[in-house]
Amino acid sequence: MSLIQSLKWRYATKKFDTKKSIAAEDMQVILEAIQLTATSYGLQPYKVLNITNKTLRQQMQAASWGQTQVVDASDVLVFCAYTEITSDMIDTYVERKATIQNIPPKNLEGYSDFMKSKILEKSPEELIDWNAKQIYIALGNLLAICGELEIDACPMEGFEPEKYDEMLGLKEKGLTAVLVCPIGYRSAEDFTQHSPKVRKPLTELYETI
């Protein structure tokens, strides 16, 4: 399918087919699409967890407003933002950039200093907000690639981050849960798949100035 057709095909799946699983090769494509997402400075200030433990997913359902998608989907991706970005993290990124792009590290010192001056001055609240914005860019890529692969997805903000952080041990890793996205295959019993999309017309959504 073309990208536009894929976006028309997809919807926020409410009920997944519990008997269908995503093939390993398709999952690899999905993970690479997330990996290739554009982020500010290219820093990728987040980590994505794929929760496959069924017992844990049942516990997560209670912290997800009882929504069954986190139990029934093939895979459940939890996007987690780093609660702190340190000088060491920026140094690691700059070293990787120097190695991959074959740039003398000394040539990137100004770039590194600029990043630190802008990022390290952020308050904890500003940093989480900034990191979360990067995660939502990744979500866009996830939804697009899933549509192209005809794999269903349901991005969810309807969960309790504090409880996720506790049950997944995120605080100890310097992370906090921002977004959950179960992925898999729609159930024939999910009648929302037959509902037409509700979107503003192009003439209302866009304005040329």
User: Could you read off the pLDDT of 65-106 as tens digits, one per residue?
Assistant: 999 999 999 999 999 999 999 999 999 999 999 999 999 999
Predicted pLDDT of residue 188: 97
**pLDDT for 171 beyond 90:** yes
Stretch 180-201: mean pLDDT: 97
Average pLDDT over residues 4-23: 97
CATH number for domain 3-85+123-205, candidates 3.90.700.10, 3.40.50.620, 1.10.3720.10, 3.40.109.10: 3.40.109.10
User: What's the average model confidence in pLDDT over 201-206?
Assistant: 97
How many CB atoms sit inside 10 A of residue 172's CB?
A: 8
| Count of Cβ atoms closer than 10 Å to residue 145 Cβ | 21
pLDDT digits (tens, 9 = 90+) for 21-30: 999 999 999 9
Averaged over 47-68, what is the pLDDT?
97
Q: What's the pTM? A: 0.95
Q: Rounded to an integer, what distance in angstroms lies between the CA atom of residue 18 and that of residue 15?
A: 9
| Domain boundaries, given as residue ranges, for the chain | 3-85+123-205, 92-119
> Looking at residue 1, what is its pLDDT?
62
Using a 10 angstrom Cβ sphere, with 0-12 exposed, 13-18 middle and 19 or more buried, the burial of residue 66 is exposed
Q: What whole-number percentage of the chain has pLDDT above 70? A: 100
Mean of all residue pLDDT scores within the chain: 97
